[in-house]
Amino acid sequence: MKKSMLMGCVAAVAAFVVQAASAAELRMLSSWDQNYPQRQMLVEPFIKDVEAATNGGIKIRISGPETVPSFEQLQPVGAGVFHLLFTHGAYHFGTSPIATAVEALSGTLDQWRAGGIKQHLDEHYARFGVKLLMLAPSAPGQGYHMVLRSPVKPSGDLQGYKIRATPTYDGVLKLLNASPVILPPAEVYTSLEKGLVDGAAWPTFGVFNNKWHEVSKFVLRPAFGTTTQLIFVNLATWNKLSDAEKKVLMSAAEKAEETYYNGYTKLVDEELDKLLKAGMQVAEMGPDQKARLTDAWAAGQWENSAKKMPAETDALRKLAVAKGLAK
């Protein structure tokens, strides 16, 4: 959506007053369509929980990237055109990198909560007109991986390989001596098939649905990093809700966080089993690369975030270090 179109959309709803309390309909944007497994895992139960707990007093209607492109969704939610957003930090990195920098952290969901990580991000994102309702991390070391057309080099790395990736993976690609190639997901299958890239970096769950096992032979291990899923709510919408409604939304969001943290590793294991049964093999990094992998991943997140927002990145990192969640 072009900026002029977006502003026109904002103007068209400028007179819209968010309905609070009874019979409110909240419009949610999702960065993925209904086939995205995490949407089925998190958002659909979230919506059912909210509607059930309010006896239908709050209803949530969801639209996907066919309504607003994934990379342009934070602004219309902050402006109140939509009320909720299910997304990932990478989709609004140009606005703020902090929700991607948080993936540099180690630790469990309980440790993130005790460390005030969600509250810290919530305060940061208020400047964009949104409240962070859900911050759902995977277990550390389970977030991301790569698929390859060819095995790991004898040196234990991917020297000379071209890997489809986003800047999120810069630290790991440097460690493995590979070169990044920026491609939209829709072009990865063909690029692997034709050998235009030698592999693709992606979350540890989702390769099978994309059918990349048909055009690649290896799953690189170990996996690395923490992947997160986010739900934001428009701040003005939030402020108009009753305390009881706020409690319902927060409770449903916390339940979804626990579902994701506790269930994601199982999804990864089940998918890996499918990939192996489909003919893929596990390729292992060299011991030196394995030893430095976690630090390389985190360094990449901090470095990329600091280029965009140095002070805010430093504040998050200092908090995480103080809480034992980062170096």
Within this chain, do residues 123 and 27 fall inside the same structural domain, yes or no? Answer: yes
Q: Residue 17: what pLDDT?
A: 36
* Residue 319 located in a structural domain: no
Tell me what percent of the residues of the chain surpass a pLDDT of 90.
84
pLDDT tens, residue by residue, 113-157: 999 999 999 999 999 999 999 999 999 999 999 999 999 999 999
pLDDT band for 63, please (50, 70, 90 cuts). very high
Within this chain, do residues 221 and 298 fall inside the same structural domain, yes or no? Answer: yes
Mean pLDDT to the nearest integer, 3-16: 42
Whether the per-residue pLDDT at 301 is higher than 50: the answer is yes
* Domain containing residue 11: CATH number: 3.40.190.170
pLDDT tens, residue by residue, 238-281: 999 999 999 999 999 999 999 999 999 999 999 999 999 999 99
pLDDT band for 53, please (50, 70, 90 cuts). very high
Whether the per-residue pLDDT at 198 is higher than 70: the answer is yes
Within this chain, do residues 104 and 125 fall inside the same structural domain, yes or no? Answer: yes
pLDDT band for 21, please (50, 70, 90 cuts). very low
Within this chain, do residues 212 and 273 fall inside the same structural domain, yes or no? Answer: yes
Tell me what percent of the residues of the chain surpass a pLDDT of 70.
93
Choose the final residue of a domain: 212, 237, 265: 265
| Residue 306: partners with Cβ closer than 8 Å, 6 or more residues away | 313, 314
Burial class, 160, CB count within 10 angstroms (exposed 0-12 / middle 13-18 / buried 19+): exposed
Domains of the chain: total:
2
Q: Whole-angstrom Cα distance, residue 119 to residue 125?
A: 10
Within this chain, do residues 285 and 172 fall inside the same structural domain, yes or no? Answer: yes
Mean pLDDT to the nearest integer, 315-319: 98
Whether the per-residue pLDDT at 161 is higher than 90: the answer is yes
What ranges in 185-234 are assigned the alpha helix state H? 188-194, 207-210
Number of C-beta neighbours around residue 38 at 10 A: 21
Mean pLDDT of the chain, nearest integer: 92
